[in-house]
Structure 1
Amino acid sequence: MIEVKGLHKSFGDVHILKDISTTFKKGKTSMVIGQSGSGKTVFLKCLLGLFDYEQGSISYDGKIFGQLNADEKRNIRSKIGMVFQGSALFDSMTIAENVMFPLRMFTKQSKSEMEDRVNFVLKRVNLADAHYKMPSEASGGMQKRVAIARAIVNKPKYLFCDEPNSGLDPKTAIVIDNLIQEITEEYNITTVINSHDMNSVMEIGEKIVFLKDGKKAWEGSKETIFKTDNEAVTNFVYSSELFKKVRKMYLEENES
């Protein structure tokens, strides 16, 4: 579980995050949504330990990150998996080498142990025969699956994803959504996803945190988001005619 209390982050005179408090639970896919400039990326980087902050705290299973020494912080970071927006694979490495990279960084496993783990996670994301391909030979969907395999290869307790469906067609995006949710439940991971894709939010958003102008303007689930009368949320979520129709149908069904 990750618990955020009273988080404030500024860059010079610009106050980006303003008193954000929330909790992300194990085994759940949590979504952080909001318009561009709402603070989503800065928030995610604070959760990752990449940015310091002026006030507040972030706890990982009860351990306050800001109070840990260097070795303890490294231990927390070794338990974090990250799926980057552009997959961020190393072009000069094969797919297997990309997936093995975190094991080389954070573990002292033997080569055979690392190879066994790489084989396992590549099979888990349905890429059992892709070991020797280069990233340039893989489709966008395959690259995302490689990124997920690399993120989970070191058996993380915490998984962060930044726009994991960026650049994917709708069908492939659903495959990636379902894979992230399956892995989250299967390994009881605390998963936090930055997204602007409302299809993803409605597909796997067990918890949704909506940021506006650096503040937490609303939180709930994909079920309760249909019921809210929070104007900032409804303006963001129902900016398309499709979601307006979906909400209307949902409310009509639940009134009858």
Structure 2
Amino acid sequence: MIEVQNIKKAFEGEEILKGISTVFPKGQTNLIIGQSGAGKTVFLKCLLGLFRPDSGKILYDNDPYSSLSDEKQRELRRQMGMVFQGGALFDSMTVEENVMFPLQMFTKQSRLSMMRRVKEVLDRVNLAEAQQKKYPVEISGGMQKRVAIARAIVNRPKYLFCDEPNSGLDPQTATVIDNLILEITREYDITTVINTHDMNSVLEIGEKIVFLQNGRLEWEGDKNVIFKTDNKAVTEFVYSSDLFRKVRKAQLQGL
């Protein structure tokens, strides 16, 4: 679980986050949505520890990050997995080597032990053994995202962060990736936070949704109530999406 208590963050006098408070439950997919410039990326980087809030607190399983020693903060960061936008795989490394990289950086396991763990997570994300020896350029975008997920979970993280994990994917592949993230979140009982603009993801896996507007938490709920809210900012955001327009068009054609 991650608890956020009234965090604020400014750059060069411009306040980007204006007092956000929320809770991201463990074992659920927690989505951050909002228009460009709403503060989503800065918020995610604060959760990752890349930015330090100017005020307020972020607690990881009830431990305030700011109160932890340097050693404890490093240990906490090792418990975080990250799926970057675009995958961010190393082109010069094979799929196996990409996934093994965090183990080499943060553990002292034997190579045999690392290889076993790499195979375990690659099998878990349903990547065929024939693909595991290839380089990223030799596999599809969807497979690259699977590799990025495998790399993010190889160290058995307590917290998983995903930045636009469906960027550049076709809708069918995006749904597969969404469901894979949901399955892994529940299977490993981790706290997953996803920064996304994809309304398909919201409707597929939005177990907890946080909507930001102008650096503030404007609304929170889940996929079952987002279409029912009377919050004007949320409805404008949802109804302007390509997905909603397609659904509405289909409804009108069915009349």
- Scaled by the length of structure 2, the TM-score of the pair is 0.95
- The alignment yields a C-alpha RMSD, in angstroms, of 1.6
Match of 1:119 in 2: 119
Q: CA 1:94 to 1:6, structure 2 compared with 1: closer, same or farther past 3 Å?
A: same
Check 1:41–1:118 CA distance in 2 against 1; reply closer, same or farther (3 A cut): same
The residue aligned with 2:39 is: 39
- Give CA-to-partner distance per residue, 1:106-137, whole Å, 9 cap, x none: 11111111000000000001114122100110
Give 1:79 deviation, angstroms.
0.6
How far is 1:249 from its partner? Answer: 11
1:60 and 2:38 matched: no
Deviations 1:17-48, CA, capped at 9 Å, x for gaps: 01000000111001000000000000000000
The equivalent of 2:94 in structure 1 is: 94
Aligned in 2, Cα 1:228/1:150: closer, same or farther, shift over 3 Å? same
1:165 & 1:37 partners in 2: Cα distance? Answer: 19
**Residues 119, 128 of structure 1: 8 Å contact kept:** no
**Runs of 4+ deviating beyond 6 Å:** 247-250
Name the CA shift for 1:249/1:167 in 2 (closer, same or farther; >3 Å). closer
Paired AA for residue 29 in structure 1:
T
Tell me, in whole angstroms, the C-alpha distance in 1 between the residues paired with 2:54 and 2:3.
17
Aligned match of 1:215: 216
Aligned identity (percent) is 68
Equivalent AA in structure 1 for residue 63 of structure 2: K
Where in structure 1 are there 5+ consecutive unaligned residues?
A: 251-256
For each residue in 1:50-80, what CA deviation from the matched residue of structure 2 results, as whole angstroms up to 9, or x when unmatched? 0011100001101110111111001101110
1:177/1:200 contact within 8 Å kept: yes
1:225 corresponds to 2:226? yes
**TM-score normalised by L of structure 1:** 0.94
Contact 2:163 / 2:195 at 8 angstroms: preserved in 1?
A: yes
Contact 1:226 1:247 in 2 (8 A): no
Unaligned runs of 5+ in 2: none
2:227·2:238 contact (CA, 8 Å) conserved in 1? no
In structure 2, the partner of 1:10 is 10
Mapped contact 2:94–2:134 kept (Cα < 8 A): yes
Q: What's the secondary structure of 1:82's corresponding residue?
A: strand
1:191-243 CA distance string (max 9 Å, x none): 00000000111000000000000000000000111211000000001114752
**Within 1, Cα distance between the matches of 2:67 and 2:241?**
44
Residues 200 and 243 of structure 2 are in contact (CA less than 8 Å); yes or no, is this contact kept in structure 1?
A: no
**Is the contact between residue 18 and residue 214 of structure 1 (CA under 8 Å) also seen in structure 2?**
yes
Q: Please give the alpha-carbon distance, in whole angstroms, between the structure 1 residues aligned to 2:73 and 2:79.
A: 10
What is aligned with 2:157? Answer: 156
